[in-house]
Amino acid sequence: MLKGSIEAKQQAEQDALRMSFILQKEKQEAERKRIEAQGIADFQKIVAQESARNSSNGKASKPPKNWR
């Protein structure tokens, strides 16, 4: 009986550690996605500004110089 209780407690502690690790990984992934989304938004803003600048100058629209 005592042995079973000890094993159950150890298993619960392992499960808690596992869930903590998973939660940490998910938070890091969410932060990575936020950073990626901000980078995409910044890029779209630059392209829109460049496009507006080119259309007001009568120039043909083309990608920025560092565009691949």
pLDDT per residue as tens digits for the range 10-45: 999 999 999 999 999 999 999 999 999 999 999 999
Q: How confident is the model at residue 55 (pLDDT cuts 50, 70, 90)?
A: confident
Question: What gap in Å lies between CA 52 and CA 30, rounded to an integer?
Answer: 33
For residue 60, pLDDT over 70 is answered with no
Q: How confident is the model at residue 68 (pLDDT cuts 50, 70, 90)?
A: low
Taking the CA atoms of 7, 9, 13 and 19 in sequence, report the sign of the dihedral they define.
positive
pTM: 0.62
- Supply the pLDDT for residue 44: 96
Q: Name the residue type at position 1.
A: M
